[in-house]
Each structure stands twice: as structure tokens, then as C-alpha cells.
Amino acid sequence: MAFDVEAVRSAFPILQRQVNGKPLIYLDSAASAQKPRAVIAAMSEAMEGSYANVHRGLHTLANETTEAFEQARISVARFIGAETDEVVFTKGATEAINLVAAGLGAGLQAGDEILLTQMEHHANIVPWHFLRERLGLVLRFAPVTDLGLLDMDALAQMIGPRTRVVAFSHMSNVLGTINPAAEIIAMARAAGALTLVDGCQAIVHETVDVKALDADFYVFSGHKLYGPTGIGVLYGKRERLAVLPPYQGGGEMIAQVSEETVTYADPPHRFEAGTPAILEAIGLGAAIEWLNGLDRAAIAAHEASLYARVIDRLSGANWLRVIGEAPGKGAILSFTMEGAHAHDVAQILDRYGIAVRAGAHCAEPLMHRFGLTSSARASFGLYNTEAEADAFAEALFKTQTFFA
């Protein structure tokens, strides 16, 4: 299957719009990706054609909506190589990590160690800090090299007899580094530690097979995967979910409730208290099915070529510092411009219709590691083109003249 970027672009209505009188060049997909018509249609068709609450009704609309919602779970499970009952719908990756941390925390004690890395998003740091504050757990951070690689020797040294969980990002949202997840998981398992993989960025760019990885938990958000906001996924091995305490209480997550006692439903429903994000789950299912119709290896090659093209165009720019140069990295370019604040760079690029992110990218420990408080970040998605890559590089040269 050849990758036809123009055909892909035509599936995204928003790419037709202008920004500041210029065609939109959207280079902020790592923060949140745009949505194809298939997702928009699936959600509005559900609202227009068959909508009701799920799991609890006996009428036709309730049954149809429940079927559509559970079909989305099947799509997710197939997409990551999981069993259907190993897929928990959450509000996003952040909620999924909080759910796991809170549940595992119930079985941990002071002095137990959680091993993270210096390149984690705050979503995979702060929930563990909660446990440090409440239980006296110790957080350790595996270092990152100057090139932006995880220091695997140091990581190996840091896994010890008190390590209970190794939680790490599969792909950095700042550096674009793709971490050797299977290797890290094997090391953790050999030491008797559980693993949680933050797959928010990686799942967008590569095929993920949770069984091949052998992760205990794997999390991601829908909105970076061309799906809607308000929906995310927690994959947990069946035997891990079976012993994880519930996170929130309410309807749908119980087996029985009396005045004296409560018993819980089996996973995944045990972790889905209250009315779930029905439309958003249907939208995520549609995003996945839409992606399944494309050649994902060709998408990855397309994105890699865009990144290489921009780096090539910027090769003479001695005022530019690239943060993250790991071999085989994904198409995320974090950079600083000499004499310019990242926010100013982003605002000037916006005048050219170019959307990039600027700030600490919810990764302050990583920014400190590189001696920065902020950077600008251009992140490429499957709909970006070579012409956009060239326009971005050209706009950076023009932006630089404001600060020279």
C-alpha cells in the first residue's frame, strides 16, 4: 500500500483552514492530533442515529449504543494485541497512570522504589510523587544522555531489590527518543518489578503489541491517535487487573451493593465507574479502524523523511540547538533559538500559519537535565507534507532575523 499524503490530508477537514491569512501548517500533533472525517462522522452519527446510556438499558437504543461502545473496546484490543477484558477505558493516559499508581500503592510501603526516567511526562511522575508523599516511597530517575538516549547501563544499575515498579515512556514527547521497551521490561521482570509503559507518543508512530512487549500495563490517550479527547486506554494484563483495587466508586463498577458491604465487578468494568465517555470511545474506535486502513510502516517512513528533510534544511543554522538526537528517533523536533524565548518563536511562527508548541512540555525534570526552562517543539503527523517541512524551515530562518 503506497502512502498518499494528499489523500490522507483530504480526510481532515481542518487542514483546509487558514491561520493569519496563511494555509495552516499544523506541527503540534504530539500535543493533540487533528481528527479525520471518519472520527467526526462516527461520533455525530452515534448522536444522530443511536444514542443512549450503555450497559444498563433494555431498550433498542441502549443495546445498540452498548454494542458500539464494546465494539470500540474490541478495536482497541486488536490494535494492541490484547484481550478485550484487558482494555480499560479511561479519560486519558493521565487518568490511566493515576489509576495504576493508586491501585499499586495499596500494596507498597515506605522505602519501596519506583524507577522512572528523566524523560517522563509529568503524567508519569506526579502520580508516583503522590505515593512518595503518602507512603514514603522512593522515586529514582534513570538518566538521559546528551544525545537524548536513556542511559541503559545506569538504568540497569538502578533496578534493585526494592524496585517495585519501572514506569517509563515508550517514546519521549520532547526528545522523540524511542526507548527499548521490551529490553527494559525484561530487565524489570528479572528483578521482580512490575512495568508500566507510557505509550502516548509511541502508539501513534509504531505498531504496538503489548503481549510481545510483555508489559504489565500500557497506557495511551485517544486524542494523539487522531481520535477525540476525553478517552484513553489502560491495558493491563488480566492477572494484574484482577488484583488491582478499584480506583473510583459508583455505578457500573460493582457486582452488588448493600448497606453493609460492596462487591466489585470484574475488570475492565471494575475500573469504569459511572457513565463512561461513550461517544469518545466510539470516536477512538473509528480512529483506529481508519488507521488500520493505512500502511502504518509507510506512515512512519513518511514522518521520518519529513524530520530528516527539516534537519537537512536547517543544517547551516548555527543559532539553533536541537534537543534530542537519538538515532532512530521519531518525528519530534525540540529546539531553542539563540537569543529568543521559545514563546516568542512560537508566536512568530504562528504569523506564518505554523502551529508549534512552546514551553516545558510537561517534562520539567527533562528540561532541567538539558539546562533549559523551555523549548519550542515541532511535531509531525501523517498529514504533514514536504512543502510544509520546507515552509517551516524557511519560517525559522525568517524568525531568527528578529533576534539576530
Ligand X SMILES: Cc1ncc(COP(=O)(O)O)c(C=O)c1O
Residues binding ligand X (CB under 6 A)? 31, 92-94, 121, 123, 169, 173, 198, 200-201, 221, 232, 362
273, 250 contact by CB (below 8 A)? yes
28 DSSP β-pair partners: 379
Least Cβ distance, residue 68 to ligand X (angstroms)? 23
Catalytic residue among 362, 378, 382, 391: 362
Closest distance of CB 67 from ligand X, Å: 27
- When the beta carbons of 228 and 267 are compared against ligand X, the nearer one is 228
Q: Which CB atom, from 93 or from 144, has the smaller least distance to ligand X?
A: 93
Q: Which amino acid is at 269?
A: H
294 sits in the region (left: phi over 0; alpha: psi -120 to 50; else beta) called beta
- The residue (of 57 and 359) whose beta carbon lies closer to ligand X is 359
3-state secondary structure of 116: strand
Do 151 and 177 contact (CB within 8 A), yes or no?
A: no
Residue 351 CB, nearest distance to ligand X (Å)? 25
C-alpha cell at 279: 461517544
> Shortest gap between Cβ of 123 and ligand X (angstroms)?
4
**Which of 355, 359, 308, 360 is closest to 329 using CA atoms?**
308
* Residue the block writes with cell 519521549: 172
The rounded distance, in Å, linking the Cα atoms of 397 and 311 is 13
How far is residue 58's CA from residue 184's CA, in Å, rounded to a whole number? Answer: 47
CB of 5 or CB of 231, closer to ligand X: 231
- Strand pairing of 357-359 and 375-379? antiparallel
Is the CB of residue 116 less than 8 Å from the CB of residue 128?
yes
User: Toward ligand X, which CB reaches closer, 92 or 324?
Assistant: 92
Residue with cell 544499575: 157
200 is catalytic: no
Minimum distance from CB of 243 to ligand X (Å)?
25
Distance CA 335, CA 323 (A): 6
**Smallest gap, in angstroms, from Cβ of residue 95 to ligand X?**
7
In whole angstroms, how close is the CB of 120 to ligand X at the nearest point? 8
Nearer to ligand X, 218 or 352 (CB): 218
Measured from the CB atom, the residue of 81 and 359 that comes closer to ligand X is 359
Burial of 21 by CB count in 10 Å (0-12 exposed, 13-18 middle, 19+ buried)? Answer: exposed
C-beta of 94 vs 336, nearer to ligand X? 94
Contact 351, 396 (CB under 8 A): no
In angstroms, give the least distance from the CB of 378 to ligand X: 15
The answer to whether 52 and 61 have CB atoms below 8 angstroms apart is: yes
- Rounded to an integer, what is the distance from CA 184 to the centroid of its chain? 19
C-alpha distances in Å from residue 369, one per residue of 120, 134, 147, 249: 12, 27, 12, 39
**Spatial strand order in the sheet of 332-337:** 320-323, 332-337, 375-379, 357-359
Read off the C-alpha cell for 72.
470500540
In this structure, are residues 26 and 383 in contact, taking their beta carbons and an 8 Å threshold? Answer: yes
Active site residues: 362
